[in-house]
Structure 1
Amino acid sequence: MQITRSSIDTARGPADWFTGDVYIDPVAAAPSPSRVTANLVHFMPGARTHWHRHPLSQTVFVTEGVGLCQRRGGPVEIIRPGDRVLFEADEEHWHGAAPNRLMVHLALNEGDDQHDVVHWLQPVTDAEYTAAPVAQA
């Protein structure tokens, strides 16, 4: 057993990856040969990722609040605590908080010497973001 005491400060999500206020707490970065990383990501109301893709897929597990997610070409979906979202390898997508609610999720990713964890793309436009079924949020 190994206990790692929390000594890493919460990081603000960079503006070239996110729109709005986002905060990231590292949870796991297992040593090789493991490929798993995990981060607890806090999205303030209206905050969201930019479009991006993960060469080895991504799973997000919603822990608090109400969020939104979308894969390229698909509808905007509402996500709630306990929901798990699998984004397939190289599937372009975004995720974040609903306009009037915060959202926290655990992001689980894989990466190795041949695969970056993420490739960041362009920001999600306000028109794309507001296409959400907000009445259900």
Structure 2
Amino acid sequence: MDHSPIKPTAKGPARTFTGDVYVTPIAAPTGTSRLTAALVRFTPGARSNWHSHDVGQTLHGVDGSGFVGTRDGRVVRIEPGQTVWTPPGEEHWHGASADTLMAHLALLDVNEDGSDPTHWLEPVTDEQHRAAHDAAE
């Protein structure tokens, strides 16, 4: 067993997020594990850029209310206790609703060669974010 201290929270970089987003690392690849895990907190209206992951990503809501959207226009609401899986290569974004914060656990594996599996793309526009409120399932 390994017991790790709490890791410092860092503000998400403006090159990959719109608004104020805070990331607290939970797990990093070690030994045979390829798991990366973090608690990600979005202030109202904050969101990630469009992006994809080589091996997919699991998001598990822990607080507030937000959205996960895909390029085909599908948007799902994510709230505490709900889990969303984005398959490998699917371009998507996630973030808080306009009037409520949202926090989720972000879980993914690094690539087998240890490289970063995330491919960051352009920001989600204000119009796309507003449309998510209407389209959420």
Shorter-chain TM band: over 0.9
Runs (4 or more) in structure 1 with deviation over 6 Å come to: none
Offset from partner CA, 1:37-64 (integer Å, 9 cap, x none): 1000000000000000000000000000
- Map residues 4-43 of structure 1 onto 2, 5 A cutoff: 4-6=4-6, 8-43=7-42
Q: CA deviation at 1:114?
A: 6.2
| 1:111 equivalent in alignment to 2:113 | no
Unpaired runs of 5+ residues, structure 2, are none
TM-score by length of structure 2 reads 0.92
- Map residues 49-88 of structure 1 onto 2, 5 A cutoff: 49-88=48-87
Q: Size of the alignment, in residue pairs?
A: 136
Task: Quote the Cα distance in structure 2 between the aligned partners of 1:135 and 1:54.
Answer: 23
Q: Is the 8 A contact 1:56 1:115 kept in 2?
A: no
Question: In structure 2, what residue type is equivalent to 1:18?
Answer: F
- Report the identity percentage: 48
Q: Is the 8 A contact 1:65 1:101 kept in 2?
A: yes
Q: Is the 8 A contact 1:77 1:133 kept in 2?
A: no
TM-score by length of structure 1 reads 0.92
